[in-house]
């Protein structure tokens, strides 16, 4: 049996490398290397995509800048998950018109999930005429080709037709960190949760070949990366389109067998596909961090059904029990939506009670935002904004109390942490992360950055732990 999702032929990817080389030659004629700035919105998947965009821009002879000021090229990698995210992008893209007036040769590109929404592409075409290039996530691997078309002044380029997407390997990457790395293991989503835009803008689920993923991790480990996160909209669907019987637990186990002093994490797990086999691998593999992000979205089974999540409240609680039976101290985080169309305050109480029952370490809380083209956007939504906000506030209050209680239980313990950066004030000149990814502030010499250290936890807040070198 062959894989069931398409792979871009190597020669097509190689052609992109040739376009990069051509542009590099043109840029080399300039008195100084031109500057490119990539601005990223949204999830880790987009962060990983931006590392590819920067890799391609470097291959084209650009130097990566930390700001849009004075940049010859600006790339905005956008997110469409909620209205608020889109408004921010429109505001910031609108403001770029002034810079472009001063420097008409500047090239402005907009890519990512918003570019794939037909009404957004139309709005950019009509009213944001200073944007030169617009392309969706499935066209990312063709960035050099599309960019070259604009560079050679052939007018504006829009590459936003709907696309299921494919796998493209061999693109250059420029990673942002030297300690932590993202590794995409799959792209797209087939779940069609009724509120969510992602399946419409990111195409169908498709998995990268396990050998390619594992050799990328091997290389990262060899280069001293300490923290590697495997990425996918639903990593638990990994391998369904591959031959050879690969699934996510098997991939995770194989990654965990790679030598080196690093921890593995993964995002995101859909509860319906989080299996006991996965929990067994997490429990049995020292390199897999004892942490899982398992979005529950709602604690009420009717709402879950309307969301098309395909699990019940009880099934979610059973998964948590099965996980904690194997890893009692596992750090558990989640996403939740308040104010889904038709949700009553009584149904919302089930969300609160689920939070009390599970006691998550941290929660990402969202007020429902209608997304054009999704089924939920057509559902009756009688609850007022005020009711939703009041429920949202209760949710945040409840979780803050639980987060603080959970953090208090760390006080007096010693945690092996990765010291990962400089802190912001004198009380904490360094930041670190526990294996479960809790933030720790401490004092110490900056030469410790990049090392593991035992840290005694002495204090905490709702959002962080405070400690000292043990």
Does 43 engage in binding with ligand F3S (CB under 6 A)?
A: yes
Q: Does 351 bind ligand SAH (CB under 6 A)?
A: no
The one of ligand SF4, ligand F3S, ligand SAH, none whose footprint includes residue 42, by CB under 5 to 8 A per kind, is ligand F3S
d(CA 360, CA 292): 10
Q: Check binding of 196 to ligand SF4 (CB under 6 A).
A: yes
268 binds ligand SAH (CB under 6 A): yes
Residue 459 interacts with, from ligand SAH, ligand SF4, ligand F3S, none (CB under 5-8 Å by kind) = none
Helix, strand, or coil (residue 65): coil
Q: Which is nearer to ligand F3S, 44 or 462 (CB)?
A: 44
Spatial separation of the C-alpha atoms in residues 329 and 323, rounded to whole Å: 10
Neighbouring CB atoms inside 10 A of 410's CB total 21
Burial class (CB in 10 A: 0-12, 13-18, 19+), 11: exposed
* Maximal C-alpha separation, the chain: 67
Question: For residues 432 and 438, what is the distance between their CA atoms, to the nearest angstrom?
Answer: 8
Mark 329-338 as b/e (b = at least 16 C-beta within 10 Å). Answer: ebbbbbebbb
Q: What are the start-end ranges of the E strands in 68-149?
A: 73-78, 107-112, 133-135
**What residues numbered 197-226 form the site for ligand F3S, per CB under 6 A?**
197-198, 202
Rg value, the chain, Cα: 23
Applying CB under 6 A, the span of 32-40, 221-229, 361-369, 384-392 interacting with ligand SAH comes to: 361-369
| 228 CB-side CA count, 13 A | 28
Closest distance of CB 134 from ligand SF4, Å:
22
* Interaction partner, residue 82 (ligand SAH, ligand F3S, ligand SF4, none; CB < 5-8 Å by kind): ligand SAH
| Beta carbons of 108 and 71 less than 8 angstroms apart | no
Looking at the Cβ atoms of 334 and 428, the one nearer to ligand SAH is: 334
* CB nearer ligand SAH, residue 374 or residue 428: 374
**Which does residue 46 touch among ligand F3S, ligand SAH, ligand SF4, none (CB within 5 to 8 A, set by kind)?**
ligand F3S
Among 10, 192, 223, 224, binds ligand SF4 (CB under 6 A): 192
Q: What angle do CA 343, 200, 237 make, to 5 degrees?
A: 85
- Identity of the residue, 61 or 232, whose beta carbon is nearer to ligand F3S in the bound complex: 232
Could you give the 3-state DSSP secondary structure of residue 440? strand
Give me the residues that bind ligand SAH (CB under 6 A), please.
81-82, 195-196, 198, 233-234, 268, 270, 295, 297, 335, 337, 366, 368-369, 371
Give me the residues that bind ligand SF4 (CB under 6 A), please.
189, 191-193, 196, 198-199, 233-234, 270
């Amino acid at each position: 049996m062959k894989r069931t999702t398409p792979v871009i032929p190597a020669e097509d990817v190689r052609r992109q490398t040739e376009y990069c080389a051509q542009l590099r030659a043109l840029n080399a004629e300039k008195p100084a290397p031109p500057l490119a700035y990539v601005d990223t919105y949204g999830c880790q998947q987009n962060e990983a995509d931006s590392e590819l965009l920067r890799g391609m821009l470097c291959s084209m002879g650009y130097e990566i800048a930390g700001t849009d000021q004075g940049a010859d090229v600006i790339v905005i990698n956008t997110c469409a998950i909620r209205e608020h995210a889109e408004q921010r992008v429109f505001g910031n893209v609108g403001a770029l018109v002034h810079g472009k007036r001063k420097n008409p040769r500047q090239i402005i590109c907009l890519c990512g999930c918003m570019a794939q929404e037909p009404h957004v592409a139309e709005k950019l075409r009509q009213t944001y005429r200073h944007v030169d290039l617009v392309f969706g996530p499935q066209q990312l691997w063709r960035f050099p080709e599309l960019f070259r078309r604009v560079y050679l002044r052939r007018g504006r380029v829009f590459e936003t037709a709907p696309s299921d997407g494919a796998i493209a390997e061999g693109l250059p990457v420029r990673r942002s960190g030297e300690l932590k790395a993202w590794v995409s293991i799959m792209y797209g989503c087939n779940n069609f949760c009724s509120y969510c835009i992602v399946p419409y803008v990111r195409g169908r689920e498709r998995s990268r070949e396990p050998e390619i993923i594992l050799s990328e991790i091997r290389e990262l480990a060899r280069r001293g990366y300490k923290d590697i996160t495997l990425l996918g909209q639903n990593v638990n669907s990994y391998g369904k389109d591959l031959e050879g019987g690969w699934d996510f637990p098997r991939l995770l186990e194989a990654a965990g067998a790679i030598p080196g002093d690093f921890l593995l994490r993964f995002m995101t797990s859909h509860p319906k596909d989080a299996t006991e086999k996965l929990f067994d691998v997490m429990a049995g593999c020292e390199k897999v961090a004892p942490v899982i992000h398992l979005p529950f979205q709602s604690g009420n089974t009717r709402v879950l059904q309307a969301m098309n999540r395909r699990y019940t409240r009880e099934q979610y609680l059973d998964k948590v029990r099965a996980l904690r039976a194997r890893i009692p101290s596992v750090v558990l985080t989640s996403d939740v939506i308040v104010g889904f169309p038709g949700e009553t305050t009584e149904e919302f109480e089930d969300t609160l009670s689920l939070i009390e029952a599970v006691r998550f370490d941290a929660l990402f809380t969202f007020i429902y935002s209608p997304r054009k083209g999704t089924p939920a956007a057509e559902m009756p939504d009688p609850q007022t904004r005020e009711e939703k906000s009041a429920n949202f506030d209760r949710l945040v209050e409840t979780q803050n109390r639980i987060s603080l209680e959970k953090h208090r239980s760390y006080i007096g313990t010693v945690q092996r942490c990765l010291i990962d950066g400089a802190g912001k004030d004198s009380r904490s000149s360094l930041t670190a992360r526990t294996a479960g990814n809790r933030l720790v502030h401490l004092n110490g010499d900056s030469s410790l950055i990049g090392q593991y250290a035992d840290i005694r936890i002495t204090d905490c807040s709702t959002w962080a732990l405070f400690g000292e070198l043990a």
